[in-house]
Structure 1
């Protein structure tokens, strides 16, 4: 369990999320993921990275139960800083990152997928931001890279989800895999195609594409996080998180 890194000498590395039961990462898990992505991208033998997950879905975001059982705001601050570090590590990874999404991709999962260079997804995978229902905000920056602007707003306000097939129609998912298919194998095939190129050119291509992005994704996300802290100071966030925990525990 945790974060695993696998390489096979082909120039493609897999960074795998494995936090059962739903890949809701604890605060230290986000930092571990960030470190793994940075170190893997820095390895000259790695030419492309597949970001994937074990279990029922890609990522359900932060571990809300950890926040509720930790006194004060220490867990909240750690999770926010951890998410910032992990999302930035995907974006800043020295080589292209291909996200392989199956099942659900929610909250922080959207932050990871939205900052990836390419997405391969199961056609029935679901993407969404349930943050409003949890008394938080964030990752709209990354959702805006996946869906049209007004749909992004609707998804934030209503917490509705879209599927991998929907994102393929928008052009933000490169390839959809039929339900039950091997998403990771499809992502590895795309990564292998990239890894076969000149590695120096690919690394400069990644750097140059980041340099021409119209939005500074790190600054934009940090702005969003400020409102999450405001909601916590107001007390509404804690009440929303506790409702979520109570519903899951049958309370």
Structure 2
């Protein structure tokens, strides 16, 4: 029998929590909870989400994280009203510093992170999708980096976008600021798959459950190695990956997994 389902909420100064947390069978779903603002990334929301991720990073009970959005959209990007209300350089710089730290936390998190996308994912919301390890979207979802339309080039979203899709596709999104359909996003590699909205939850939960059945140690080793080697030259990447694989091979989970394969049985992971 799986672990019981629990619901938690991040601390918030208002009447509604900014991030909803749900834990079930090793899968933690974090839901951005500013539906009236299309889940715009206010400073409070970014801090709350980072706090949850920081806690998850050291929580061995969590095998996979799903990021979702409450209401009609996944995430509309930064909260421009909040930013215009605090237009000083220090305040603006703090927003982008917090966002950059949040995106890097997603990448450095031990657990794989899956984006569950519906409605729109624009600007920093599109950045969040591009940053996640995997992304699945409803087939009527739309994506954009529209900052150029309001005189604010999506430079920080560009960092994640340009690492997720080809250069020409990224520049087209950045220079035109137009919406891209879920089908186009899938073709470009921004998301893994576009599926009917009615099946989105089943698809995401199926992928998450399959990943959660793997060795958590192996997942952590592999995720870190993926992002480190991808920025290296070929020779350095092979040297690094060979060292990682040697270390991984000596882990108890690898030995258990290989023995289970040879003995034609299911492995029992210990996370070591």
Could you say which TM-score interval applies, normalised by the shorter chain? 0.7 to 0.9
Q: 2:64 aligns with which of 39, 45, 48?
A: 48
Q: 1:20 aligns with which of 22, 35, 38?
A: 35
CA distance in 2, matches of 1:153, 1:102: 23
For structure 2, which runs of at least 5 residues remain unmatched after alignment? 1-16, 233-272
Q: 2:213 aligns with which of 177, 188, 196?
A: 196
CA distance in 2, matches of 1:85, 1:49: 18
Q: Does 1:118 align with 2:107?
A: no
Question: Aligned pairs, how many?
Answer: 213
Q: Where does residue 147 of structure 1 map in the other structure?
A: 165
The question of whether the paired residues in 1 share the 8 Å contact of 2:169 and 2:188 is answered with no
For structure 1, which runs of at least 5 residues remain unmatched after alignment? 216-251
CA distance in 1, matches of 2:130, 2:40: 17
> Aligned-pair RMSD on alpha carbons?
1.7
Higher relative contact order, structure no. (Cα contacts within 8 Å, ≥ 6 residues apart): 1
TM-score by length of 2: 0.73
User: After the TM superposition, which parts of structure 1 deviate over 4 Å for at least 4 consecutive aligned residues?
Assistant: none
Q: Where does residue 18 of structure 2 map in the other structure?
A: 2
CA distance in 2, matches of 1:148, 1:196: 32
CA distance in 1, matches of 2:78, 2:182: 21
Could you say if the C-alpha distance between residues 24 and 169 of structure 1 is closer, same or farther in structure 2, counting changes exceeding 3 Å? same
The question of whether the paired residues in 1 share the 8 Å contact of 2:129 and 2:191 is answered with no
Q: 1:161 aligns with which of 179, 182, 192?
A: 179
The question of whether the paired residues in 2 share the 8 Å contact of 1:98 and 1:119 is answered with yes
**Cα displacement string for residues 150-187 of structure 1 (whole angstroms, at most 9, x for unaligned residues):** 12112111101212211222344222221x32423321
Q: Which deviates more from structure 2 when the two are superposed, residues 77-86 or residues 97-106?
A: 77-86
The question of whether the paired residues in 2 share the 8 Å contact of 1:145 and 1:172 is answered with no
The question of whether the paired residues in 1 share the 8 Å contact of 2:35 and 2:73 is answered with no
Q: Where does residue 59 of structure 1 map in the other structure?
A: 75
